[in-house]
Amino acid sequence: MPLTLHDQVAIVTGASSGIGYGVAKALADAGASVVINYHSEPAPAEALASQINHAGGHAIAVKADVSNESDVDRLFQASQERFGGVDIVVANSGVQKDHPFVDMPLDDWRRVLDVNLTGQFLTAQRAVREFARRGPRPVSKALGKLILMSSVHDVIPWAGHVNYAASKGGIQMMMKSLAQEVAPQRIRVNAIAPGAIKTPINRAAWETEEALERLLKLIPYGRVGEPEDIGKAAVWLASDESDYVTGTTLYVDGGMTLYPEFANNG
Ligand code: NAD
């Protein structure tokens, strides 16, 4: 992949596993210096940082809970102290706490909204403030690039996961409204909506042969996605190759949002 992000700095939240890990690695491969945020697992985040540093790149691992305002402040402070600021922010952290709606404990409703929606709000707000503080840089046409990690469940309803789907639906309108608000500052705001990607969050959906077979019925393209699929989309959205793209959700889902059950039954 060409080094399209050379001399740019990226923060990726929830990057000690799964999609965030893959996105941090892809951004580093594309030449960005990377702040790898982790919540509770320092080892994989630190291992990724040293792998990037040994390969000649630049990375640090920083602990922060994205639902906590002062933690998010410290995350951006760390980027400023180590790299002078930030050009690309990927708000990726997310959790699932699934229950039938009638049994949904308020704590699990709140936790999912706190991490998935409020966490992305806090991260996005600091990103916009930081882009404005630092001002234009010759490394990109945009003042800053913000990517929110949504899900196909910002459009596909999901019984038994009402808190998660509500959080992702919220991300869609937060992204669009924010994109409209900050476009005049030349800040680009977009979302990526992954389909089924093989990560710890959905292990039960692909771990056994039966589960995998059921899952593949929902994916016209016939394979489960990998974190690298999302990493490549993030590099494009972060680069000037997508300079005229803002306020858009990029569905990276092997066709999951194409209503595959209608293919032979319309
Ligand atoms: P994952 O569980 O590997 O990643 C989630 C990450 O968020 C973890 O690293 C976790 O430590 C971090 N996190 C959790 N709470 C946090 C907090 N309070 N502060 C900071 N970080 C926190 O699963 P994933 O699949 O890589 O999920 C990443 C994102 O992609 C999530 O937003 C998820 O909703 C979204 N997504 C995943 C899929 C999929 O199929 N895997 C599909 C659609 C959307």
Pocket flag, ligand 1, residue 61 (CB < 6 Å): no
Tens digits of residue pLDDT in 34-82: 999 999 999 999 999 999 999 999 999 999 999 999 999 999 999 999 9
Which letter does DSSP use for residue 115 in this model? I
Catalytic option among 164, 221, 251, 259: 164
Q: Residue 259 catalytic?
A: no
Q: Would you say 171 and 112 are in contact if contact means Cβ atoms under 8 Å apart?
A: no
Helix and strand totals (H; E) in the chain = 9, 7
DSSP 54-114: HTT--EEEEE--TTSHHHHHHHHHHHHHHHSS-SEEEE---------GGG--HHHHHHHHI
Q: Is 202 in the pocket of ligand 1 (CB under 6 A)?
A: yes
Tokens of 191: 């979302």
Q: For residue 35, give the nearest of 66, 72, 78 by alpha carbon.
A: 78
- Per-residue pLDDT, 265: 79
Closest CA to 229 of 259, 190, 192: 192
Q: What is the pLDDT of residue 140?
A: 98
Q: What is the pLDDT of residue 266?
A: 66
Low pLDDT (below 50) residues in the chain: 1
Distance of CA 17 to the CA centre of its chain: 12
Tell me the best of 11, 17, 19, 149 to mutate to test the pocket of ligand 1, counting ligand atoms within 8 Å of each CB and taking the most.
Answer: 19
As beta bridge partners, residue 194 has 252
Q: For ligand 1, is residue 201 a contact (CB within 6 Å)?
A: yes
Nearest CA owner, ligand 1 atom 12: 14
CA of 30 to the centre of ligand 1 (A): 22
96 Cβ below 6 A of ligand 1: no
Element (H or E) spanning 196, and its range? none
